[in-house]
Amino acid sequence: MRLDKFLCACRVGTRSEVKKYIKQKLVTVNGQTALKPEDKVDETADIICFRGKQLQYEAYRYYLLYKPAGCVTAVTDATHKTVMDLFPDDIRGGLSPVGRLDRDTEGLLIVTNDGEFTHHILSPSHHIPKTYLAELDYALPEDAVARFKEGLDIGDDELTLPAELELIEPYIHENGYVRHRALVTIHEGRYHQVKRMFHAVGCKVLYLKRLSIGNLTLCGLDPGDFRRLTEQEIAALKEL
């Protein structure tokens, strides 16, 4: 790969910053001062140092992002802020969100540059559980738990896969109206799936937050925060 690409992947700096560092003779390849950003390096064999410190190449990177409401789940967008705008320039390169949350939905989103991992998480055959907190305009009907479990007709060719629904205490929203609440765990990821499932039982989703994917939770993060996934978390997700 190109030296400047390697340096960016190691988070030495942005493409223009690393070019500057090469010009300033701060980068060596196998002990020789590197001269050109376009020089080819072997990331698995060459010893590449920045300011005398050896760099470790990471082919794949995995992040957990607490997506705030208001940004779109896309890499670029002509009008709206995207989830990728929440990452600094030196991290963002090559990353994409895994699946999507609606613009008004907040919560847990995985972001990676590992296409195979993305495919694994999204594949309908893996049934990876995703849990959401939903706030609703009306109380759920009495048979809602059973209907979510049986599978719902949400207008697609197939019923939804069995989902777990748990009712939680309603509360009074700051607008003075009662908000009914439920936790729902689904094992697939169709377009607007959760909103369409509640619609199928007569309720409108007024607020939606994804709390977990598999073993991952938002624990300790605020909206807009992100962190690296640990090796254990990545391995556990790959096993699901």
List of residues contacting ligand URA (CB under 6 A): 101-102, 105, 192-195, 208
Minimal distance, residue 22 CB to ligand URA, in Å: 43
Minimal distance, residue 79 CB to ligand URA, in Å: 19
Selection from 75, 63, 60, 64 nearest residue 115 by Cα: 60
Active site residue 102: yes
Minimal distance, residue 134 CB to ligand URA, in Å: 9
Hey, what amino acid is at 219? C
Asked if 86 contacts 74 with a C-beta cutoff of 8 angstroms, the reply is no
Backbone angles phi, psi at 91, to 5 degrees: -105, -35
Rounded Cα–Cα distance for residues 141 and 155 (Å): 20
Q: Which helix (H) or strand (E) holds 145?
A: helix 144-150
Q: Which helix (H) or strand (E) holds 16?
A: helix 15-23
Minimal distance, residue 187 CB to ligand URA, in Å: 12
What length is written for the chain?
A: 240
Which lies closer to ligand URA via its Cβ, residue 60 or residue 191? 191
Hey, what amino acid is at 27? V
Query: How far is the CA of 80 from the CAs of 68, 71, 195, in angstroms?
Result: 13, 6, 22
User: Collapsing DSSP states into helix, strand and coil, what is residue 138?
Assistant: coil
Which lies closer to ligand URA via its Cβ, residue 8 or residue 194? 194
Minimal distance, residue 185 CB to ligand URA, in Å: 12
Which lies closer to ligand URA via its Cβ, residue 120 or residue 192? 192
Which lies closer to ligand URA via its Cβ, residue 83 or residue 208? 208
Which lies closer to ligand URA via its Cβ, residue 69 or residue 91? 69
Given the residues 102, 104, 157, 222, the one annotated as active site: 102
Catalytic sites, residue numbers = 102
